[in-house]
Amino acid sequence: MVDNTSSELEAFRLRRQQELQQQLAQQAKQQADAEVESQAKAVEQNALDSAMRTILSPEARGRLTNVSLVDPSRAELLKKQLVNLHQESKISVPVSDEQLKRILANLSKSRRSASIRRI
């Protein structure tokens, strides 16, 4: 009777220990994945910031900073569009503040162009 109880207890302890080890391994993997992802985002952000320093004039960078304070997602979209335009040689470097204003206005137009039609 005592042997049966102690063997059941030992089996339970082993199962619980294995479960805890699996949980720890899974948590460690998730943490490592999160670190890799954050490092990749940091590298991408550094690349975008570096590109903005070469593409934009100081005044335009100031405007982009103001836009990012108000609407960070819009600023990211604008940065990516500026990099694409630069890669396609559709803009002259450095982009002035006036040119950046026009690009921002075009982005705003495309957002407002969506309309809702009732049927």
In order of their start, the domains of the chain are: 2-104 (1.10.8.140)
Task: Collect the ranges in the chain with pLDDT lower than 70.
Answer: 1-2, 110-117
What torsion do the CA atoms of 34, 37, 38, 41 make, to the nearest 10 degrees? -160
What is the model's pLDDT at position 27?
96
pLDDT at site 115: 61
d(CA 11, CA 20): 14
Question: What pTM was computed for the model?
Answer: 0.64
Cα–Cα distance list, 41 to 26, 38, 64, 67, 80 (Å): 23, 5, 19, 20, 14
Q: State the pLDDT at residue 93.
A: 85
